[in-house]
Amino acid sequence: MRKWALASILLALIVIVLGAYTRLTDAGLGCPDWPGCYGHVGVPMTQDSIDTANAAFPERPVEVEKAWNEMIHRYAASALGFFIVIITGLALFKRQNNQPLKLPIFLLLMVCFQGALGMWTVTLNLLPAVVMMHLLGGFTVISCLFLLYLRLTPFTIPPSNQHMRKTAPWAVLGIVLLVIQIALGGWTSANYASLACTELPICEGNWTERLNFAGAFSIPQADNYEFGVHPYEDRMTMHVMHRFGAIIVTAYLVWLALRLWSQAHSHLIRRLAVTMGVVLTVQVALGISNVVYSLPLTVATLHNAVAACLLLVMVMITYILYRRV
């Protein structure tokens, strides 16, 4: 099961990257139906099939590149679901001593819910709340897969580090803050507000006078949410909140890394503290680059991937701090 868990982690990271790429290339509705694409298992490629698809969906003519972006993401997500079914089957029918059971079952339920969110993303025309929940669901799946992998991995914590357990609640708080920040980023992206502020450190102009929190965290009535439906003030507020969240999370995780480094007696915890600092630095640099270079596709996609990596580092730190010898 451990090998399947590792393969699933790698595949889940690919799915997260593909999901970000799909969203950033405006391909979330590249296929206007679900689970197929214009009624096909794959993307319509011949002129006859394209003409038929256009006739069936006149409001959404076929754009082959966007359709492939969407379908490749669906294929990868389906493969991940298959891997998790195998993991759950192994947990149920080939049980070994101390092998986790509840976590694989939760993963199976979670990936089914993710499939439903993927469907609603399309059928509800990119409703921001669903898009954000789909993002958070992906991060939940990869975190649980990583936790499963850690539980299946035999290693011990030196007794000299048992005093570090008192730091574990602070690591949990770090995960909570990071998840909130990821949610803010997902909300900003789902509402196409990533370029609402184009200057550093917060926003340009008299942004303090234009904040609208009620509007920023509401969902206006619309038939289609592609390219966003909020006015500028709402999108600017979303973006500003994401930046403030980045400042708070960065400051907190830097403090946590320094605390872990100064108090740990083992090389493992110290290495994890350094790893967290390095990944955090990369993530901050990517966030700044998104602003300076106006959201380049590669940088914006990596911003999602590195966020997932940072969350996994936090999961490992928390797991080790709570784990007994």
Dump pLDDT digits (tens) for 102-118: 999 999 999 999 999 99
Residues 5 and 133 in one domain: yes
Residues 138 and 6 in one domain: yes
Confidence of residue 1 (pLDDT cuts 50, 70, 90): confident
265 lies in which domain range? Answer: 160-325
Residues 148 and 202 in one domain: no
Confidence of residue 161 (pLDDT cuts 50, 70, 90): low
Return d(Cα 171, Cα 97) in angstroms, integer.
29
Six-digit token string for 57: 């969906």
pLDDT at 94: 80
CA-based nearest residue to 132, from 213, 230, 25, 20: 20
Residues 185 and 44 in one domain: no
Return d(Cα 197, Cα 260) in angstroms, integer.
35
- The answer to whether the beta carbons of residues 112 and 140 sit under 8 Å apart is no
pLDDT at 96: 73
Rg of the chain's alpha carbons, rounded to an integer?
21
pLDDT at 110: 97
Whether residue 325 is predicted with pLDDT greater than 60 in this model: the reply is no
Structural domain total, the chain: 2
Residues 195 and 228 in one domain: yes
249 CB contacts (<8 Å, ≥6 apart)? 177, 178, 181
Whether residue 159 is predicted with pLDDT greater than 60 in this model: the reply is yes
The stretch 237-256 carries a mean pLDDT of: 98
Q: Measured on CA atoms in the order 308, 312, 314, 315, is the torsion positive or negative?
A: positive
Residues 190 and 278 in one domain: yes
List, as own/partner pairs, every contact residues 115-119 make where C-beta atoms lie below 8 angstroms and the sequence separation is at least 24, other chains included. Answer: 115/77, 115/81, 118/34, 118/74, 118/77, 119/34, 119/35
Which phi and psi (to 5°) does residue 37 adopt?
A: -135, 105
Residues 174 and 322 in one domain: yes
- What positions carry a catalytic annotation? 70
Quickly count: other Cβ atoms within 10 Å of residue 198's Cβ.
12
Residue finishing a domain among 121, 154, 187: 154
Residues 167 and 142 in one domain: no
Alpha helices for the chain (secondary structure H): 2-24, 47-56, 64-93, 102-123, 128-151, 168-190, 213-216, 232-263, 267-292, 297-322
Residues 85 and 231 in one domain: no
Whether residue 309 is predicted with pLDDT greater than 80 in this model: the reply is yes
The pTM of this model reads 0.94
Residue finishing a domain among 127, 154, 181: 154
